[in-house]
């Protein structure tokens, strides 16, 4: 690993603001590449990087590995072990459908199919405008509300397939309001 990452397809040149924030964050950690305890800071660094980029593309994984003085395989292993981390881009509006036992027996598969139909994408994909992505989750721990959908952290319980278009419309309206506020600020 002699080559230092200087360009990233996810964020352009390293002059990109997100990349600069990641670099500044890593600088504050003062990572000693000879210290065997340096990996203690890896998970929080990956969380931070994912909050900046929305996912952890390979180029960012390699850069973090270089900064920590560890192999890309070590970083990739941590990412694949923890369910929270993702290596695929997500939409601005992230739809998660719980497929745990209680949700599944109460129709979560039908709810998921309806989100896929309305948005025109499959689970694990992002709409072409980058607004929506759909994921299925193992369990969100809200079995009494089955079937459960979370969208950008907001929980919807006892969701029925016929409610899906209204739920999507609500989030589009909210996003439009936020964009208008930013423009008028």
Whether residue 8 is predicted with pLDDT greater than 60 in this model: the reply is no
77 and 98 inside one domain: no
151 touches 95 (CB < 8 A): yes
Question: Residue 134's beta-bridge partner residues?
Answer: 95
In angstroms, the CA 6 to CA 152 distance is 32
Whether residue 6 is predicted with pLDDT greater than 70 in this model: the reply is no
61 and 124 inside one domain: no
**48 domain-assigned:** yes
- Strand order from edge to edge, sheet including 154-156: 132-137, 93-98, 149-151, 154-156
38 and 113 inside one domain: no
What per-residue confidence (pLDDT) applies to 13? 54
30 and 101 inside one domain: no
Whether residue 7 is predicted with pLDDT greater than 50 in this model: the reply is no
The residue assigned the tokens 């139909």 is: 117
Q: What is the CA radius of gyration of the chain?
A: 19
What domain range includes position 59? 7-81
What per-residue confidence (pLDDT) applies to 168? 93
At 174, list the tokens.
């909210």
- Residues written for the chain: 185
**2 domain-assigned:** no
In angstroms, the CA 42 to CA 63 distance is 12
121 touches 132 (CB < 8 A): yes
Tens of pLDDT, residues 64-83: 999 999 999 999 999 998 87
Span 104-122, mean pLDDT? 97
């Amino acid at each position: 690993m002699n080559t230092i990452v200087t360009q990233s397809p996810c964020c352009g040149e390293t002059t990109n603001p997100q990349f600069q924030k990641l670099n500044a964050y890593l600088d504050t950690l003062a990572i000693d590449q000879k210290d065997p305890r340096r990996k203690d800071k890896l998970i929080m660094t990956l969380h931070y990087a994912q909050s900046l980029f929305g996912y952890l593309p390979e180029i960012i994984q390699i850069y973090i590995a270089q900064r920590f003085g560890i192999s890309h395989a070590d970083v990739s292993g941590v990412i694949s072990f923890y369910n929270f981390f993702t290596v695929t881009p997500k939409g601005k509006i992230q739809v998660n459908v719980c497929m745990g036992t209680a949700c599944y027996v109460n129709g979560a598969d039908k709810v998921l199919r309806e989100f896929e139909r309305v948005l025109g994408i499959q689970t694990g994909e992002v709409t072409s405008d980058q607004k929506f992505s759909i994921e299925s989750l193992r369990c969100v721990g809200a079995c009494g509300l089955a079937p459960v959908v979370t969208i950008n952290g907001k929980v919807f319980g006892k969701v029925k397939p016929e409610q899906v278009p209204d739920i999507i419309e609500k989030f589009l309206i909210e996003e439009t309001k936020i964009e208008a506020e930013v423009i008028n600020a």
